[in-house]
Amino acid sequence: MSLLRADGVTKRFGATLALDALDLEIAEGEFFALLGGSGSGKSTLLRIIAGFEAPDAGRLLLDGRDIAAVPPWARPFNMMFQSYALFPHMSVADNVAYGLRRAGVNRAEAARRVAATLAMVGLEGFGARRPHQLSGGQRQRVALARSLVMRPRLLLLDEPLGALDAALRERTGFELRALQRETGAAFVMVTHDQEEALALADRVALLDGGRVAQVGAPRAIYERPASRFAARFLGAANVLEGRALAGTFESAEAGVTFAGTIPEGTVAVALRPERIAVTAGAEGPNTALGVVEDVAFRGDDSLLLVRLTGGALLRVAHAEEDGAPPPRGAAIGLAWEAGDVVALPA
């Protein structure tokens, strides 16, 4: 069931169009990621949902009712800010109790809920501390607790893992998902990190230029990008320009013919680095010849940069179990399955 719907939401800042008639639907209890680069409009959308910005046009519907005119303090959403925005003059417990006090919850009940929520985020016994006495990870949990204690129907998270170091990121990511399942609230996360979005979210909306470029389950949009932009943004696929020709795709820059299910109007194809095999020679469609320009060892595989005869540079992941990767300067053949060629209509 749809919880929140954006319907043609448009927002301008001076001459820049931050959101361009954007449509989006967020379901009850799902973990939703707004993924995009800077200037994609993802943060503006989050601020419009929270009520800090008003859309210039379009509607924002909660349970089918337009809430564009509802101020932030009256919306059943809460936000975890990227900077955490903890109140520096209050203890951790007072920070978490802030929203409950505004809602008129009595002291005893508020104290009970604050303690339970702090326990939920793993901060028992930290209630008396001040924000400046906490580590970055602990502050993040206080910010999370301060939002979650309100039992929002929708929790907005602005780059929730952005300020954490790499080791803490993965653990916190899993904890966020666990909290989301536990509370049953819908989580809407803004991130510029495609790995984070794919790992955490049930559904991802890829934003580009104030519009939704593609929306879907992480695996679906990862495997079937709908455009060159999506293919490049979601995990560094090879994108090769060319033209469709009677069911095949001719790429002059690669000097390669791609065969597969290539519809008319295909403008480019995407090919994942891990779907390309290194062979001795090349023969027919879905093969190529090239020279290894560089090799980077990545642990479970090596990334090869292969200059094709047509001039294009192809990224190829060479798995460790296939033996030692070809050395720099080696002339190699490449091959892939027809089913791994993703035709891009835009």
Partner 1 sequence: MKARLAVLAPAWAWLLLFVAAPAGILAAIAFAEADPGIPPFRLALSGIGFATLAEDTYYLEAFGTALRVAGITAGLCLLLGYPMAMAIARARPGRRVLLLALLMLPFWTGFLLRVGAWIGLLRDQGWINGVLLALGMTEAPLHLLYTEGAMLAGMVHAYLPFAVLPLFAALVRLDPTLVEAAEDLGARPAVAFLTVTLPVTAPAAAAAFLLVFIPAAGEFVIPELMGPPEAQLVGRVLWQEFFQNRDWPVAAALAVVLLVLLLAPIRLFQRLEARP
Pick the binder of partner 1 from 88, 284, 323, 327 (CB under 8 A).
Answer: 88
Contacts of 191 (CB under 8 A, 6+ apart): 33, 34, 35, 42, 159, 160, 161, 162, 197
Q: Does 162 bind partner 1 (CB under 8 A)?
A: no
From 99-107, 249-257, 272-280, 322-330, span contacting partner 1 (CB under 8 A): 99-107
Strands 31-35 and 186-191: parallel
Pick the binder of partner 1 from 81, 223, 317, 333 (CB under 8 A).
Answer: 81
Residue 230 is which amino acid?
A
Of 305, 296, 168, nearest to 238 (Cα)? 305
Q: Does 70 bind partner 1 (CB under 8 A)?
A: no
CA distance 224 to 303: 22
Pick the binder of partner 1 from 13, 52, 174, 297 (CB under 8 A).
Answer: 52
Pick the binder of partner 1 from 8, 16, 63, 83 (CB under 8 A).
Answer: 83
Residue 210 is which amino acid?
G
The torsion region of residue 184 among left (phi > 0), alpha (psi -120 to 50) and beta comes to left
Q: Does 140 bind partner 1 (CB under 8 A)?
A: no
Burial of 238 (0-12, 13-18, 19+ CB in 10 A): buried
| Joined tokens for residue 24 | 């989006």
* Shortest reach from residue 101's CB to partner 1, in Å: 9
CA end-to-end distance (rounded Å), the chain: 31
Nearest CB to partner 1, comparing residues 158 and 208: 158
Q: Does 261 bind partner 1 (CB under 8 A)?
A: no
Contact string (CB under 8 A) for partner 1, positions 8-37, x = contact? ------------------------------
User: E strands within 209-276?
Assistant: 211-216, 238-241, 243-245, 248-251, 256-259, 268-271
Nearest CB to partner 1, comparing residues 77 and 249: 77
* Shortest reach from residue 147's CB to partner 1, in Å: 8
Of 176, 341, 320, nearest to 256 (Cα)? 341
* Shortest reach from residue 180's CB to partner 1, in Å: 19
Number of amino acids touching partner 1 (CB under 8 A): 24
From 48-56, 108-116, 179-187, 227-235, span contacting partner 1 (CB under 8 A): 48-56
Pick the binder of partner 1 from 56, 57, 102, 297 (CB under 8 A).
Answer: 102
* Shortest reach from residue 13's CB to partner 1, in Å: 13
Q: What is the CB neighbour count within 10 angstroms for residue 203? A: 18
* Shortest reach from residue 66's CB to partner 1, in Å: 20
| Joined tokens for residue 13 | 């800042």
* Shortest reach from residue 143's CB to partner 1, in Å: 8
Pick the binder of partner 1 from 6, 46, 60, 79 (CB under 8 A).
Answer: 79
CA distance 126 to 36: 35
Nearest CB to partner 1, comparing residues 147 and 172: 147
Pick the binder of partner 1 from 40, 43, 78, 266 (CB under 8 A).
Answer: 78
* Shortest reach from residue 98's CB to partner 1, in Å: 5
| Joined tokens for residue 206 | 């890829």
Q: Residue 107 half-sphere exposure, CB side, CA atoms within 13 Å?
A: 0
Give the interface with partner 1 as residue ranges (CB under 8 A): 50-52, 71-74, 77-79, 81, 83, 85-89, 98-99, 102-103, 146-147, 150
